[in-house]
Amino acid sequence: MEKLQNIHQKQVVSWLAICGFLVFCMIIVGGATRLTHSGLSIVEWAPLVGTIPPLNYADWIQVFDAYKSSPEYQLINYGMSLGEFKVIFWWEYFHRLLGRLIGLVFFIPFAYFLFARRLNSNLIARLLGIFALGGLQGGMGWYMVASGLVDDPNVSQYRLTAHLGIAFLIFGAITWTALSVLYPSKLNMNTPAKSMYKLSIIINLVLFIMVLSGGFVAGLRAGLIYNTFPLMGDSFIPSGLFMLSPFMTNFFENMTTVQFDHRIIAYILAGLIPIFWFRLRRRDVSIRTKKFSSLMLGLLILQITLGISTLVMGVPIILGVAHQAVASLLFITSIAVTQSISSRKGMI
């Protein structure tokens, strides 16, 4: 019986790993779609009919004509050829298609495991929560696109950030759930374990805030100004940080403030994660916890390097996509560290 249960656990974990990989691909494609300015190329939301791409010249003319009615075409891409349109269309099409695929890959095995009674009540609740987040993500994606189809051919930075944040929440939830199946959490932790667990939670939160900050940088295209490091122009603290009124709008609508905040959060993480890594080395922890924490530190170094390179080079597409991809890996690795500490074999 125990052997059979282990097989079922491995099946669930393998399924969640596939879902996680697809979400990771979705984050990469989403970043490329944004950086190639392809997100507004499909001007309608057709969850079922939209699965079929244009199949002939007449179909292409139809979708191209629909795009020509959008403010992006009229104000930015006026005179674009059909060939040029196809490039941005395929990026957005595969972005949406991948979203539909993730829904199917998640729902069909979930239904099977549910009816086969291979999921306990706690796991069912978590998986339903992830499925609900997936549905919310689909709706938020169209809500974001719709904001750029009215007058201004730029999507709302608030909606873009929400869309990005939900994607990271889904990725993190899948990671935690899969690891929890393999390494169940223990009910009582000793004092050292609790202190490290709380610090790891803080790192998770700061990283998520960093992701949201990156969403505002992307939404406002704030990475295209002050392409110097470590100074912003001629000083560390640039002028014009709080030029907007009311005061709080600067943190979400002022390009200078948004980029400055993103840098400051990076500095915080550059200090916080090495301190955590060093303190963890002084504890009696499992090999798994040590490996995850070392991976987190390595990814942080890589992410900071990519962030600086992306900024000073004027946000080239390949570096921008890599920066977003590594951010997602860093985030789920921090989730893995937290889960590892909380598990029965995380802190010895």
DSSP category for residue 51: G
**Higher-confidence residue: 318 or 3?**
318
Same domain assignment for residues 235 and 313: yes
Same domain assignment for residues 170 and 261: no
Angle value at C-alpha 326, between 324 and 328, nearest 5 degrees: 70
Same domain assignment for residues 25 and 114: yes
Given a cut of 80, whether residue 46 has pLDDT beyond it is no
Q: How confident is the model at residue 284 (pLDDT cuts 50, 70, 90)?
A: confident
Given a cut of 50, whether residue 18 has pLDDT beyond it is yes
Given a cut of 60, whether residue 3 has pLDDT beyond it is no
Same domain assignment for residues 220 and 178: no
Locus of tokens 């860093």: 330
**Higher-confidence residue: 152 or 235?**
235
The confidence score (pLDDT) of residue 253 equals: 96
Q: What is the largest CA-CA distance in the chain?
A: 68
The confidence score (pLDDT) of residue 1 equals: 47
Angle value at C-alpha 49, between 46 and 53, nearest 5 degrees: 100
The confidence score (pLDDT) of residue 232 equals: 94
Whole-structure pTM value: 0.94
CA 250 – CA 245 distance, rounded (Å): 7
- Picking from 327, 340, 341, the residue whose alpha carbon sits closest to that of residue 299 is 327
The confidence score (pLDDT) of residue 44 equals: 87
* Burial tier of 120 (Cβ tally within 10 Å: 0-12, 13-18, 19+): exposed
Q: How far is CA 224 from CA 217, 227, 312, in A?
A: 9, 7, 9
- Using CA of residue 191, residue 195, residue 198, residue 200, what is the dihedral sign? negative
Given a cut of 70, whether residue 261 has pLDDT beyond it is yes
Could you give the count of Cα atoms lying within 13 Å of 142 in the half-sphere of its Cβ? 13
The confidence score (pLDDT) of residue 329 equals: 98
| Average pLDDT for the chain | 92
Same domain assignment for residues 337 and 217: yes
The confidence score (pLDDT) of residue 81 equals: 95
Same domain assignment for residues 201 and 177: no
Same domain assignment for residues 221 and 201: yes
The confidence score (pLDDT) of residue 133 equals: 96
Same domain assignment for residues 2 and 146: yes
Summarize the confidence of residues 104-117 as an average pLDDT: 94
Per-residue DSSP letters for 85-142?
HHHHHHHHHHHHHHHHHHHHHHHHHHHHHHHTT-S-HHHHHHHHHHHHHHHHHHHHHH
The confidence score (pLDDT) of residue 30 equals: 95
Please identify, among 151, 182, 213, the residue that sits at the C-terminal boundary of a domain: 182
Same domain assignment for residues 193 and 147: no
3-state SS of 210-265 is HHHHHHHHHHHCHHHCCCCCCCECCECCCCCCCCCCCHHHHHHHCHHHHHHHHHHH
Q: Over the stretch 148-165, which tens digit does the pLDDT of each residue have?
A: 988 888 899 999 999 999
Summarize the confidence of residues 268-277 as an average pLDDT: 97
Q: Over the stretch 52-96, which tens digit does the pLDDT of each residue have?
A: 899 999 999 999 999 999 999 999 999 999 999 999 999 999 999
Summarize the confidence of residues 256-261 as an average pLDDT: 97
The confidence score (pLDDT) of residue 48 equals: 67
Q: How confident is the model at residue 209 (pLDDT cuts 50, 70, 90)?
A: very high
Q: How confident is the model at residue 191 (pLDDT cuts 50, 70, 90)?
A: low
Please identify, among 139, 161, 182, the residue that sits at the C-terminal boundary of a domain: 182
The confidence score (pLDDT) of residue 151 equals: 83
Please identify, among 182, 211, 231, the residue that sits at the C-terminal boundary of a domain: 182
Locus of tokens 């730029």: 154
The confidence score (pLDDT) of residue 74 equals: 93
- Picking from 99, 104, 119, 251, the residue whose alpha carbon sits closest to that of residue 166 is 99
CA 83 – CA 326 distance, rounded (Å): 32
Summarize the confidence of residues 290-296 as an average pLDDT: 95
What are the φ and ψ backbone dihedral angles of 140, each rounded to 5 degrees?
Answer: -65, -35
Same domain assignment for residues 164 and 220: no
DSSP category for residue 271: H
Q: What is the dihedral of CA 147, 143, 49, 90, to 10 degrees?
A: 60
CA 233 – CA 321 distance, rounded (Å): 25
CA 159 – CA 150 distance, rounded (Å): 15
Percentage of the chain modeled with pLDDT above 70: 94
**200-204, 327-331, 332-336, 342-346: least confidently modelled range:** 342-346
Domain count for the chain? 2
Same domain assignment for residues 174 and 203: no
Same domain assignment for residues 129 and 58: yes
**Higher-confidence residue: 50 or 219?**
219
Structural domain boundaries enclosing 150: 1-182
